[in-house]
């Protein structure tokens, strides 16, 4: 009976640790989203589609993902090289950012904001949920 009790205690401790880690991860994730809202707007797909004709649409995914399919009219600036090429963007025009799920977009928005860009928007659900027009190369 002692062996069964110690196994049950181990399982309980493991579950508590997992719950704590999930909680910490959730807090960090939502804190980052809250922080990103200071310098970027999060747009739903319809809002993104509505304004993208007047904006510089930037796909932050790597080139191979971009070639497999991207939002029609987007230009590829992989996040891995974004710090070198963000100067190709015009700060006087809106910038619409997207990646697979918005994590890279939040980082890129912070960088653009630091360098004087004011009108920055992020596709809220990322490319993974996009069902608008796409282009494959």
Query: What total of structural domains would you count in the chain?
Result: 1
Containing structural domain, residue 109: 37-135
- The 10s digit of each residue's pLDDT in 90-126 is 999 999 999 998 889 999 999 999 999 999 999 998 9
Q: 3-class DSSP state for residue 67?
A: helix
CATH number, domain of 42, equals 3.40.250.10
* Average model confidence (pLDDT) across the chain: 91
Distances (CA, A) of 58 to 78, 87, 93, 125, 135: 9, 13, 13, 15, 14
Residues of the chain with pLDDT under 70: 1-4, 31-36
Its pTM surpasses 0.75: yes
Beta bridge partners of 75: 58
């Amino acid at each position: 009976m002692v062996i069964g009790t110690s196994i049950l205690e181990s399982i309980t401790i493991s579950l508590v640790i997992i719950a704590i880690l999930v909680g910490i991860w959730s807090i960090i994730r939502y804190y980052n989203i809250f922080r990103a809202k200071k310098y970027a707007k999060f747009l739903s797909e319809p809002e993104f589609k509505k304004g993208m004709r007047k904006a510089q649409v930037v796909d932050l995914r790597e080139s191979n993902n971009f070639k497999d399919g991207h939002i029609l009219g987007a230009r590829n600036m992989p996040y891995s090289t974004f710090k070198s090429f963000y100067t190709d963007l015009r700060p006087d025009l809106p910038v619409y950012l997207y990646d697979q799920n918005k994590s890279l977009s939040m980082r890129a928005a912070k960088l653009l904001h630091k360098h004087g860009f004011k009108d920055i928007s992020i596709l809220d659900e990322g490319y993974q949920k996009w069902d608008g027009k796409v282009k494959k190369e």
